[in-house]
Structure 1
């Protein structure tokens, strides 16, 4: 780290949980953020502020006025811009150190697999089940950890998935078989799709969940031990709860990939 970085990240360096070694890991980390909306906005901002060295931002949507109620990485002057361009401007203003790579389209198929395989960690901040399952399959295929989150109405959730022990990249876990997204939410049991445009969403909820997603991502990058839990936030009374999750031994994606896990289509 140079002198400017020592000053910028000084409050991290004081923490036993981070320190110089941990901050250097963050500076060397490569992260893919899928979706620069309500969740991706705070997640990207905190990862950029924390000094994650390389951030790939993927989103094919444009900023809409209705987004600004919760998507804090964008500004009023950003309406009509591609979200990745708007986000890049805000993130560079916050911290010019990271390398920001932009993907100005919806990732799917081979492009999704290639993007996932090129990073250390994926944050899925998308807003539909088909995309989440496609991202999950790509992460399992490449052996890349995934931090998945969702928020709708007054309910939010977040979890770490596909974390492997003794991985070459250095990630470690006390548990050998981590669940994937399909273990927790099987594709053939997916509930009826809902959207913020029809259901609404409590603006601070997306911030809370996105910040939780960033916090879990940093813990993964720092190789700290984690539990296999689904973290849940109830925006009605601002409470949190958790539920244990585990790998499904018959999972068609991560345990028994020869089984049929669905059509494989992505949103």
Structure 2
């Protein structure tokens, strides 16, 4: 090797960075005794723009790292188990669903697909996200409506009651639960009818057209009946979590007690378990 070629190599920026890393690793492991003999890899503090060094820990600090690839899957091999395969969303259907275990892909709806399990017994699954999945959050039993009590009628935003505060047959009453939940999906709880003047039916739903199904049915006046309530929440104007209630045949008082809310994320619940 000539002196000129040696000088050129010494001035190569990449060579200088590699030499500095080697010196750092040597200084770190020197004096480590038995531990040094094991050959533990040192930490390579890679500066932005440096090469990725296999067999070491590479730290880019606060800089962003971008890995550009073609439209084919990117495979990170793992001899001890399933590889990690990142598949383009355009390649998910149909062959992505039958790909090797370890495949991860995001479809055109933004949902994360995971091909898990083993090569012999792979399984398909979708990662839980608040975009489409829900969670049930239990809350302290909370009375959100009692038409017998003026203070517990305060969340009614539309519809009229009779002079005694009862639901009138054929008149929908909308109850806003926005003080308790943001953009809720559904409610669990109990609905009770009391103080009716005759036989009748109560239907509870979210918003929009009244369903034909009933929530509570009664045959005589003076009955107290309760039923489990699990129904979707709707939206009306600026209110994003509403229930609609409508009685048929006879006026009745109604009580709604809430025990759980279905939401995309517990932070949407504004009381109890979600607070």
Greater relative contact order (Cα 8 A, min sep 6): structure 1 or 2? 1
The structure having more radius of gyration, on CA atoms, is 2
TM range (shorter): under 0.3
Structure-2-length-normalised TM-score: 0.22
> Structure 1 or 2: larger strand share?
2
> Structure 1 or 2: larger helix share?
1
